[in-house]
């Protein structure tokens, strides 16, 4: 908390315009990360259920191994287990896709926020309202306080 508040104070002291831009764009970055985490949590629950189903099939096959062997149903048990694992494969691929898109979108927003801050900083320097060092100090103070 001390890092967060001291970063905000340093940012406001050095260049309040850059700090306000950062505070305005921050919720969008947090929302993007939160939305991807909600989807990841749901997919993780689904993949756990699929693994539980596959484990149940394997447990039944091991419990009744004598019956399976007597009626030569080993192939059917293997096929049933392999089929139940296909759902976990699909969920694993979806988790990878959601994680990649979520992180890409979140980091893309963060980089766009930094680009906006530097662009506004350039305008402030051009009009003589701030110096480059103040802008960089405010930018890094806010980034470090956000971490």
**Cβ-count burial of 128 within 10 angstroms (0-12 exposed, 13-18 middle, 19+ buried)?**
exposed
Question: In Å, what is the CA distance from 14 to each residue of 2, 10, 126?
Answer: 18, 6, 17
Q: What is the pTM of this model?
A: 0.75
Confidence at residue 71, expressed as pLDDT on a 0 to 100 scale: 63
Which residue ranges of the chain lie beneath pLDDT 50?
none
For residue 147, the model assigns a pLDDT of: 76
- Coil vs helix vs strand at 32: helix
pLDDT of 39: 93
**pLDDT value of position 70:** 58
Alpha carbon of residue 127 to chain centroid: 39
Domain boundaries of the chain, sorted by first residue: 1-47+89-146
Token pair for 1: 């908390």
Burial class (CB in 10 A: 0-12, 13-18, 19+), 115: exposed
CA–CA separation, 32 and 40 (whole Å): 12
Phi first, then psi: give them for residue 68, nearest 5 degrees. -60, -45
Distance CA 87, CA 131 (A): 57
């Amino acid at each position: 908390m001390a890092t967060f508040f001291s970063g905000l104070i340093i940012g406001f002291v050095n260049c309040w315009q850059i700090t306000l831009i950062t505070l305005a764009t921050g919720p969008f970055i947090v929302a993007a990360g939160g939305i991807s985490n909600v989807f990841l949590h749901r997919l993780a629950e689904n993949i756990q259920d699929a693994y539980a189903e596959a484990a149940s099939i394997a447990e039944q096959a091991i419990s009744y191994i004598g019956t399976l062997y007597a009626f030569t149903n080993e192939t059917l048990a293997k096929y049933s287990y392999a089929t139940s694992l296909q759902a976990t494969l699909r969920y694993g691929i979806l988790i990878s896709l959601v994680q990649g898109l979520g992180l890409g979108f979140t980091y893309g927003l963060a980089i766009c926020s930094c680009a906006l801050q530097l662009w506004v900083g350039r305008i402030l320097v051009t009009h003589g309202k701030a110096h480059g060092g103040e802008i960089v100090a405010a930018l890094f103070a806010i980034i470090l306080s956000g971490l």
